[in-house]
Amino acid sequence: METKVTRDPHSYARPQEAVIRHLDLDLAVDFDKHILKGYAEYTLQTAPDAKEVIFDVRDLVISKITLDEDTTPAVFSTGIPDDVLGAALTVKLKPGTRKVRIYYETSSDAAALQWMDAKQTAGGKHPFLYTQSQAILCRTWIPVQDSPGIRFTYNATVRVPKGLMALMSASNPQQLSADGVYTFEQKRPIPAYLMALSAGNLAFHRYDDKTGVYAEPETMKAASYEFVDTYKMLVAAEKLYGPYDWGRYDLLVLPPSFPFGGMENPCLTFATPTIIAGDRSLTSLVAHELAHSWSGNLVTNRTWNDFWLNEGFTVYLERRIMEELYGRSYADMLAVLGYGDLSQTLADMKADGNMKDSRLKLDLEDRDPDDGVSDIAYEKGYLLLRTIEDAVGRDKFDPFVKKWFAEKAFKGADTEEFLEFLYANLFAEGSEEDKKVEPKRWIYEEDLPAGVKAPVSERFEKVKQAADLAAGGGKIPAEQTAAWTSHEWVYFLRSLPAKNSPALMASLDAQYKFTQSGNNEVLFVWLMMAVENNYADAYPELEKFLLHVGRRKFVKPLYEAMMKNPATTEMAKEVYAKARGGYHAVTWQTLDKIVK
Ligand SMILES: [Zn+2]
């Protein structure tokens, strides 16, 4: 297999010398000790003179390594561990070695693994486990060449206590196994950050031959209702971008501590339950994770510096899928909300004197890639693609994107290859379109180019007028808000002034019941406003939310706002002390720096 070599600053692997091509994984899940134990056996592709193979490991206990059929222990050494990168595991090879088997167990505080007691689940009777490998946490549960530029297929056997179900980013069971043993196969080569495992008391609801949802039985009714349009999304995506290449597309609804909105694990998106709103209003997240089946999982950023290639494309695809299903005016609302997030992020970066990370091409050398990730990759990336689309028209842009996926599938790409592909297929470097779009300006320079066209939404124009009316104490006619989606409510709240009188906060809450909102996006914006306006009536709900939800997008800004306001600093510390144990490491590692 042809692999372009770009040095990945976040992996010790030397793929030119010895690279993994296939993994056979065998793991037992120990819920009492909070560890995984077993072996990872890799089939290698080696250079003729390869003397050793290097893996990334972090907090793993390696007991033995063997080569091919030989059961005598092989020679290996582990380097000095770095806090973020972990260590290099170097295994000496013999001439002609094809397979390396590593016997190991994880540590009980492996960063990728979230172990939940029964009481932290919806059902309350069984423990639960899920992994989060992106960006560089796979190495905390599997010794692996943990670089997005390295792909491998895998088979796995996973042993869990009887009565529980195990699921992976692969072909999955739809029923409980009698003995707690499950086998998996991922035929498509994937990078390590897409390795995923979950185990718990799980049920399956099948929508059709292609799509379905896994959830705890207690959550299933709400979950299966919410995601019923998944197949329509799949059809819309295939129409735009070519065949879905991964077999089934199922969703797994996780407990509320899941740190992200969703994780695009192949065949099985992991999703936060915070998008279950009862009215299917937050399902653009499903469109987003599904879109990753093309941008990210098929065409992968070669290093985390090129992360915008994964996320910018995915946000663009997400909005095109939503447009296919619900119309242009719906997709326009999403684009305007995204632009609002981007403007806020840029303002925060300016205030912090950290505009470096506002470039699409990142420089994450010597940093945790998780720290450099922001809305920039998502929303500035989206805006660049949208700007190109506007400049050339959809009749040219759509085939271009389809060709990008077809040509780069299972190979990966970096930012420079994107530019090369753009100039070879859409417009020439130095052409009128190039001068109009300025792609290099977007990619390599800070902030947004001057004169960038902000997305607009007609539906939001009306919402803005209503917010102005409400801010002045006026009453909005009830028929105007009757058909609003949660997006309109979010935009309404965002359009109110930053500082509001206690009387206005109380009257808005009395009228629209924001503190009791069952929609987490609306509730989140309202709770932010509550902290910034000292609206203490919402604080009991705020505490409940922080204790219940671990999604970083919500809890990070809330803790930041609470720490900034002297009236809520103590509350932030007290709530965090209670909540921290229920958060995934991805979340608490971020929050530890905020709540001191
Ligand atoms: Zn994404």
Ligand 1: distance of its center to the CA of 102 in Å? Answer: 32
Ligand 1: distance of its center to the CA of 312 in Å? Answer: 8
Ligand 1: distance of its center to the CA of 47 in Å? Answer: 35
Query: Is residue 289 annotated as part of the catalytic site, yes or no?
Result: yes
What is residue 409's predicted lDDT score, i.e. its pLDDT?
Answer: 96
pLDDT tens figures, 292-318: 999 999 999 999 999 999 999 999 999
250-262: average pLDDT: 94
For residue 164, which of 96, 85, 217 has the smallest C-alpha distance?
217
190-207: average pLDDT: 98
Mean pLDDT estimate for the chain: 96
CATH 1.25.40.320 in the chain: give the residue spans.
498-596
What is residue 7's predicted lDDT score, i.e. its pLDDT?
Answer: 86
CATH 1.10.390.10 in the chain: give the residue spans.
202-449
Ligand 1: distance of its center to the CA of 499 in Å? Answer: 33
Ligand 1: distance of its center to the CA of 193 in Å? Answer: 13
Give 413's DSSP letter.
Answer: B
Quote the percentage of the chain above a pLDDT of 70: 99
Ligand 1: distance of its center to the CA of 506 in Å? Answer: 37
Separation CA 434–CA 454 (nearest Å): 19
Exposure on the CB side of residue 88, measured as CA atoms within 13 A: 13
pLDDT tens figures, 556-589: 999 999 999 999 999 999 999 999 999 988 899 9
Ligand 1: distance of its center to the CA of 311 in Å? Answer: 5
Ligand 1: distance of its center to the CA of 201 in Å? Answer: 27
Ligand 1: distance of its center to the CA of 377 in Å? Answer: 9
70-97: average pLDDT: 97
Query: Is residue 365 annotated as part of the catalytic site, yes or no?
Result: no
Higher pLDDT, 403 or 117: 403
Ligand 1: distance of its center to the CA of 40 in Å? Answer: 28
pLDDT greater than 60 at residue 275: yes
Domain 498-596 CATH assignment equals 2.60.120.560: no
Sheet holding 128-131, edge to edge: 113-116, 128-131, 197-200, 165-168
The answer to whether residues 97 and 57 touch, using CB atoms and an 8 Å cutoff, is: no
Ligand 1: distance of its center to the CA of 292 in Å? Answer: 7
493-507: average pLDDT: 96
**Cβ atoms within 10 A of the Cβ of 365, count?**
10
**Cβ atoms within 10 A of the Cβ of 60, count?**
25
- Amino acid, single-letter form, for residue 499: K
12-40: average pLDDT: 98
What is residue 129's predicted lDDT score, i.e. its pLDDT?
Answer: 97
Q: What is the DSSP string of 117-163?
A: -GGGSSSSSS-EEEE--TTTTGGGTS-B---TT-EEEEEEEEE--TT
pLDDT greater than 90 at residue 252: yes
In CATH, the number for domain 202-449 is 1.10.390.10
- Per the CATH hierarchy, to which homologous superfamily does domain 1-117+127-190 belong? tricorn interacting facor f3 domain (2.60.40.1730)
Separation CA 574–CA 568 (nearest Å): 10
What is residue 2's predicted lDDT score, i.e. its pLDDT?
Answer: 44
What is residue 497's predicted lDDT score, i.e. its pLDDT?
Answer: 96
What is residue 200's predicted lDDT score, i.e. its pLDDT?
Answer: 98
What is residue 195's predicted lDDT score, i.e. its pLDDT?
Answer: 98
What is residue 1's predicted lDDT score, i.e. its pLDDT?
Answer: 41
Q: Which two tokens stand for residue 481?
A: 């808000």
Note the helical H segments in 199-277: 217-226, 230-241
Sheet holding 52-57, edge to edge: 52-57, 87-92, 76-78
Separation CA 187–CA 245 (nearest Å): 10
> Pseudo-torsion of CA 453, 457, 463, 464, nearest 10°?
10
What is residue 4's predicted lDDT score, i.e. its pLDDT?
Answer: 57
pLDDT tens figures, 533-555: 999 999 999 999 999 999 999 99
For residue 153, which of 65, 74, 246, 243 has the smallest C-alpha distance?
246
Separation CA 583–CA 576 (nearest Å): 10
pLDDT tens figures, 434-452: 999 999 999 999 999 998 9
pLDDT greater than 90 at residue 64: yes
pLDDT greater than 80 at residue 199: yes
Ligand 1: distance of its center to the CA of 207 in Å? Answer: 24
Q: Which of 378, 539, 559, 576 is catalytic?
A: 378
Q: Which of 289, 324, 389, 417 is catalytic?
A: 289
Question: How many angstroms from the chain centroid is the CA of residue 510?
Answer: 36
What is residue 5's predicted lDDT score, i.e. its pLDDT?
Answer: 61
Quote the percentage of the chain above a pLDDT of 90: 95
CATH 2.60.40.1730 in the chain: give the residue spans.
1-117+127-190
